[in-house]
Amino acid sequence: MTSIRYRKADVDGLNVFYREAGRVDAPALLLLHGFPTAGHMFRQLIPALSDRFRLVAPDLPGFGQSDMPVRESFAYTFAALAQVIERFTEVIGLARFSLYVFDYGAPTGFRMAIRHPERIASIISQNGNAYEEGLSEGWSPIRAYWQDPSQANRTLLRSFLSPETTVWQYTHGVPDASLVSPDGYTLDNHYLARPGADQVQLDLFGDYRTNVAMYPEFQAYFRERKPPFLTVWGKNDPFFLPAGAKAFQRDMPDAVVRFFDTGHFALETHAREIAATIGDFLAQPISNA
């Protein structure tokens, strides 16, 4: 049986909760979650890979079991999230690692990669976008807020925080919704209902525009560094389109692209298949030196 350890790291005074499994000297894989979830989204993937890899899945600040400092003392921006997770890797001793990025985890991880490319052994993107053509029309209300950050436009984005929308994110595009456990979206809705969590998420909706502005910089990193790259993409995602997965091959012709007949939260229905794909991709040993 796989032993998963549940820990907190003190990152410059901020407690970052994380799950960890596997030998400490095994090739490391850092798992970065997205909105509105936390490291629990990897609950099926971690046991499937921990016999070969050291897996570390932190909760981003403001998410899951990590600290959610008040907005007056912590800026909820993607630059700040990346800085905290970068320091987190230093605190727990991850010198070189592969990245698994999903949704919000993608701009967080890509920012880390361009700052310290020498630390990145390879990248796996599961519905983690870096191209304009990957953004669906579902982003229109958020784009409207970027263009006019009025209180009225901010209020309109609250619909993304409703319990019904969370369930929809989990089940949209899934051919058989009975395969989606209610545990994930129920826990996410619990975290979203905490006092102050709504404002944190609305801040991040607004700041996501900085990620889109950095797409050319991310793409330059892909072209210049060409890290070993795999996409494992739920092809029916209502937010991140298959075109976004294919676009990685424009800058990295050797990137491996795999689609699965499911939605945004692909691990909910295809964890076994995705784990097998990752195992094949990372078959060659990855040095932690």
Indicate which residues carry an active-site annotation.
264
For residue 288, give both structure tokens.
């932690």
For residue 263, give both structure tokens.
């939605």
Residue 37 backbone dihedrals phi, psi, to 5 degrees: -95, -155
Report d(CA 114, CA 222) in Å as an integer: 9
Q: DSSP string covering the chain, please? A: ----EEEEEEETTEEEEEEEES-TTSPEEEEE--SS--GGGGTTHHHHHTTTSEEEEEPPTTSTTS----TTTS---HHHHHHHHHHHHHHHT--SEEEEEETTHHHHHHHHHHH-GGGEEEEEEES---SGGGB-GGGHHHHHHHH---HHHHHHGGGGGSHHHHHHHHHTT-S-GGGS-HHHHHHHHHHHTSTTHHHHHHHHHHHHHHHHHTHHHHHHHHHHH---EEEEEETT-SSB-HHHHHHHHHH-TT-EEEEESS-S-THHHHHHHHHHHHHHHT-S-----
Indicate if the alpha-carbon torsion angle 139, 265, 84, 74 is positive or negative: positive
Question: CA angle 182-109-252, nearest 5°?
Answer: 110
